[in-house]
Structure 1
Amino acid sequence: MSLVPSLTELAWALEPGALAGRTRFCTEPPEMAARVPAFGGTKDPDVAAIAALRPDLVIANREENRREDVEALEACGLRVMVTVIDSVEEALAAIAEIGRALGREAEAAALAAGVREVLAEPLPVGPVRVFVPIWRTPLLGLGGRTYGSSMLEAAGAVNVLAGRERYPQVTLEEVAALRPELVLLPDEPYRFREEHAAEFASIAPARLVDGKLLWWYGPRMAASLRELRRLLAGARA
């Protein structure tokens, strides 16, 4: 049972037959969502139904899921793996850990090797200063000690809020003073749209991006790094 959308995708990629349950937000890949039943959401899982399912393992995440739900599942006698993923390296470690739990060490190692291959590739351009808003009102940005910030750095960016708390509240004036060269507008957790790009036009060129590039760890990491590098190269074109 997985309570984390990106780790549900990972479990399916490693061993589809092992996945007995998911949350209603676990919708990737579509063929998985069509076959695996949902048991509540990431913040409100159906603890009683999950306990009745009696999974051998429940996969959770410290940021995605609530402590009280994890504790309730554990009180039902279930084994819960709580992942902590605030960097690319921690994501790779989680892939290995989940691979071991599913008996798919070789498949997990192959996924991690693909990511490390991309990490070893030369960067297409020098460091590009980037700002990523994650909420609009109030304006919150992607700060340091987060997986998204680590992905930016691995792609060759400088996160202008890397020295701040994880998701600081900022003003447009504060952001402008940090001199970003590119603003990336993800579609999650806040769904930024084309009309929002104009709000940041006075600061730097703004590009709409798939939020999964920055938030989803697992089988899409290598492709996400390559897409982020393409976006950064475009900022210097």
Structure 2
Amino acid sequence: MDFSDQTGYRITLPSLPQRIVSLVPSQTELLFDLGLADRIVGVTKFCIHPEEKVKQKTVIGGTKNFHFDTIDALHPDMIIANKEENYKEGIEQLQAKYPVWMSDIYTLEDALDMMRQVGSLTGTEARAQELIQGISTSFEHLQPLQQSIKAAYFIWRKPYMAVGSHNFIHHLLQRCGFANAFAELTRYPEITPEQLQLAHPQLILLSSEPYPFIEKHLAEFQELCPQASIKVVDGELFSWYGSRLLHTPAYLQKLVEEVKNSLT
């Protein structure tokens, strides 16, 4: 069976894969939700859901530093990766030995297409379609702000790094009716305090990952932008583009309502 991944790279699978290594946390969770627990042999140290099941799998390193000897010992017949989350040199090294299927995701439509294709790759089309339908229906009911507001979404501290354009988080911000304050910059720009003040966002969102922003960080942003409403948000629900998207629309709707109330 021949397949093209989301980057256009072609792989051949002689049969349904029985020994899968996943290099992406959100796609690991998807594989489990597709009912493939017995066929997953390797995951990264950042693959934390579903908690009890991932603990039983071999850890092959991080998303950007693979332990190739560990992967070799697992004898995978398919590896699932992502263009943004994994690193080019490591993927190329794996592609020389194994079928590596890579996702490349910027929008909800890309995420749903990834699920559809992973279902085909693994023979779980029916379950994949159930997930896709559930996610699609939930997002159709998401009611964005009627009047868009300028928002800044931060993923790192010291230095401050925000979400720019052309990535999945930017897409979800738009779906909420939030205009990304740094959409004109690179995908994940470094932001100075002066740039933040000049951008004058009405809303600042501090992500729980990759930097673990918590309530104690609100004050430093409030000092820079006294006019802004500032919230800590669940980074997984903004950036995980697998089956966790089942929970995302309800979370985003609650956030939209909180923001709407804080502005009135």
Match of 1:42 in 2: 63
Over the aligned positions, Cα root-mean-square deviation in angstroms equals 1.6
- CA apart distance, 1:155: 2.8
1:104 matched to 2:124? The reply is yes
Match of 2:103 in 1: 83
Match of 1:114 in 2: 134
Match of 1:172 in 2: 193
**How far apart are the structure 2 equivalents of 1:91 and 1:122?**
17
**How far apart are the structure 1 equivalents of 2:251 and 2:212?**
19
CA pair 48-122 structure 1, distance change in 2 beyond 3 A: closer
For structure 1, the residue ranges without an aligned partner over 5 or more in a row are none
Say if 2:23 and 2:80, in contact at 8 Å, map to a contact too: yes
CA pair 209-221 structure 1, distance change in 2 beyond 3 A: same
> Which has a greater percent of strand?
2
Match of 1:208 in 2: 232
1:5 matched to 2:25? The reply is yes
Secondary structure, aligned partner of 1:236: helix
- CA apart distance, 1:22: 0.5
Q: Find the partner of 1:18 among 26, 39, 42.
A: 39
- CA apart distance, 1:40: 1.4
TM-score (norm 1): 0.93
1:79-136 per-position Cα deviation (integer Å, ceiling 9, x unaligned): 0011111222111111111111111111111111122112211515323332111111
1:142 matched to 2:124? The reply is no
Say if 1:4 and 1:60, in contact at 8 Å, map to a contact too: yes
The amino acid across from 1:72 in the alignment is Q
Match of 2:51 in 1: 30
- CA apart distance, 1:225: 2.4
**How far apart are the structure 1 equivalents of 2:177 and 2:249?**
9
The amino acid across from 1:21 in the alignment is G
- CA apart distance, 1:34: 2.4
Aligned length in residues: 236
TM-score (norm 2): 0.84
1:51 matched to 2:55? The reply is no
Runs of 4+ in 1 over 6 A off after TM superposition: none
Say if 1:156 and 1:229, in contact at 8 Å, map to a contact too: no
For structure 2, the residue ranges without an aligned partner over 5 or more in a row are 1-20
1:133 matched to 2:125? The reply is no
Say if 2:142 and 2:253, in contact at 8 Å, map to a contact too: no
The amino acid across from 1:13 in the alignment is D
Say if 2:142 and 2:249, in contact at 8 Å, map to a contact too: no
**How far apart are the structure 1 equivalents of 2:177 and 2:130?**
23
The amino acid across from 1:101 in the alignment is L
1:157-177 per-position Cα deviation (integer Å, ceiling 9, x unaligned): 222222221011223333333
Secondary structure, aligned partner of 1:40: coil
Match of 1:199 in 2: 220
Secondary structure, aligned partner of 1:207: strand
1:92 matched to 2:116? The reply is no
Match of 1:189 in 2: 210
CA pair 177-229 structure 1, distance change in 2 beyond 3 A: farther
**How far apart are the structure 2 equivalents of 1:122 and 1:9?**
23
Say if 1:141 and 1:161, in contact at 8 Å, map to a contact too: yes
The amino acid across from 2:158 in the alignment is T
1:233 matched to 2:261? The reply is no
